[in-house]
Amino acid sequence: MHTASIFHRHTLTLALAAVFAASSPVTLGGCSTTESAGEQLDDEALAQAVGTALALDEGVRRVDVDVDVLAGVVYLRGEVDTETMRERAEEVTLAVDGVHHVENQLEVGAPDDLATSSADALITSTIAARLVADPDTRLRNIDVDTQDSVVTLSGIVEDEVARRRAVELASKTRGVLRVVDDLQVAQEK
């Protein structure tokens, strides 16, 4: 009984952490790859700098932008309300010292209503908690976005095992209608 209580508290803690992470307007990360430790640190620092710049900019701070960096290339993913916001996010990113190239994969779409947003946030946080808890996916930088119960997994994973497991975990989550697999497997150096 005591062990079950500890397990439930641990699970609740992971779920709450995932909820807070999922509700953050800017998701950051240097991708887990076959890069050297120094390259990964440089990518992480660049992702932090870009994320901060986007969060502070009046034209983009309220949008859902995922920032990933791999080998110095900044990937912007997520959804913004207007084409102007999409362009502004790229401008702000290019102005950050150290950014030489941006892959702007932001999509323009209308804002969701509160009920849909809440259901989508719950799905996102549940999947994020499962990814963190699973040994095949916990150390990977996998972005989870949910819109109208359709989950999109994006980011760069180290191998095919991590990609397949992430898709499986998302597919088996309650409330998910479909999973869009935009995960990329890192190239071996």
* Distance in angstroms (rounded) separating the CA atoms of residues 1 and 7: 10
Q: Which of 118, 120, 134 is nearest to 167 (CA)?
A: 134
* Distance in angstroms (rounded) separating the CA atoms of residues 149 and 49: 31
- Reported as half-sphere exposure (CB side, CA atoms, 13 A), residue 128 has a value of 25
Report all structural domains of the chain as residue ranges with CATH numbers, in order of start: 2-108 (no CATH), 114-185 (3.30.1340)
State pLDDT tens for residues 109-126: 766 566 667 788 889 889
Which residues lie below 8 Å from residue 94, measured CB to CB, with a gap of 6+? 102
State pLDDT tens for residues 11-70: 444 444 444 444 444 444 444 444 444 445 578 889 889 988 988 888 886 567 888 888
